[in-house]
Amino acid sequence: MKKVYIVLEDGHIFEGKAFGAEGETLGELVFTTSVVGYVATLTDPRYYGQIILQTFPLIGNYGYISEQRESDKVWAKAFIAREWCENPSNFRCEKTLDEYLKEQGVIGVYDVDTREITQLIRENGVMNAKIVSSLDDIDYDEIKNYKIENAVAAVSDGETKVYGQDNDGAAVTVVNFGYDKNAVKDLLNLGMKVTSVSASSTAEEILATNPQGVVLSDGPGNPAENESAIAEVSKLVGKLPIFGLGLGHLVLALANGAETSKLKFGHRGSNQPVKSLKTGKTYITSQNSGYTVNAESLEKCGGEVAFINVNDGTCEGVDYKDKNAFSVQYHPEAGLRDRDVDKIFDRFAAMLGGND
């Protein structure tokens, strides 16, 4: 196998072996603690512009299975693992991970010490990295200056789509920041009629869909970058029930006048512990977020922290009681939803006056 190198912006260099596509790439290096689901991880639009490091040591053991995709393409810049299984064994396997990455033009790296890299990120924070085939002429300024920009515009198709027209529940409009899949699914499961609109939609265009409530979907990138969307959401606050998920949670906070900041190394994986301040219970959730709402900034906009991350104490959910709005940073469909007495999507449905 061909040698490749992972060059971190702080000067650390790790030698590994290449699989997948050939070439070089530059991105923000992040790690995910998920044990399974690497196909879903690779095709998750929320990893746009990032190099994914898998903390679980073995990937590729069941190959590529198309039904596990979160979208039709790989959004990550590259994929790093400790060990890559060249000969997958699963009756659903359609091709090897190597073949899939080659098709997608995505670089893979294996046979590196992923524990050490993860520890570096945990201690020093998320940093940029470049994967190269030669260590000649490394431009560290180029690596340090890399930024993920226009992420929502890059992953969102910008189309208006209508689902569940024959359902007899409430009409809900989802503002799609690039990842509306699970939000739409859960709303349909509650019998709602769902319209998904572009993140660039104005408040007037959203209201023209005649929704009884609005959901702000998850998506990639820095929430503060979405200035026009924040301004439009601020016009909707207080007019009808609003529920934010992931990036939508962060956009809603900014629209209310709160502040957000970048997490040191992010919350990524299917085993993030979140505590409800209402019930005192802790739940294991799935997340993919690099930013958080600054809890102290909520006081000036009437927001109240409803959930916190047990690992670092950061805000995971906000209630805007006087504005008929709330939001969560985690993905309720993947963990907490079926076990919480105050089910998140059911709570939103109740705010619409039905489906409870």
Q: What is the pLDDT of residue 333?
A: 58
Residue intervals of the chain classified under CATH 3.40.50.880 are: 152-351
Amino acid code (one letter) for 129: A
CATH superfamily of 152-351: Class I glutamine amidotransferase (GATase) domain (3.40.50.880)
Intervals of the chain under pLDDT 50: 335-338, 341-342, 355-356
- Please name which of 282, 288, 345 lies closest in space to residue 309, comparing C-alpha atoms: 282
CA angle 204, 208, 209 (to 5 degrees): 130
DSSP three-state, residue 150: coil
- Name the 3-class secondary structure at 241: coil
Give tens-digit pLDDT for 297-343: 999 999 999 999 999 999 999 999 899 999 999 987 554 444 553 48
Residue 341's pLDDT is what? 39
Query: What integer pLDDT is reported at residue 5 of this predicted model?
Result: 98
CATH 3.50.30.20 segments of the chain: 3-148
**Residue 205 CA neighbour count, 13 Å, CB half:** 14
Q: Tokens for 119? A: 């520890």
Give the pLDDT score at 343.
81
Q: Rounded CA gap, 14 and 233, in Å?
A: 44
CATH class, range 3-148: alpha beta
pLDDT at 332: 74
d(Cα 297, Cα 346) in Å, to the nearest integer? 28
Cβ atoms within 10 Å of 279's Cβ, excluding its own: 11
Helix (H, G, I), strand (E, B) or coil at 173: strand
Return the structure tokens found at 260.
């957000």
User: CA 249 from chain center: how many Å?
Assistant: 11
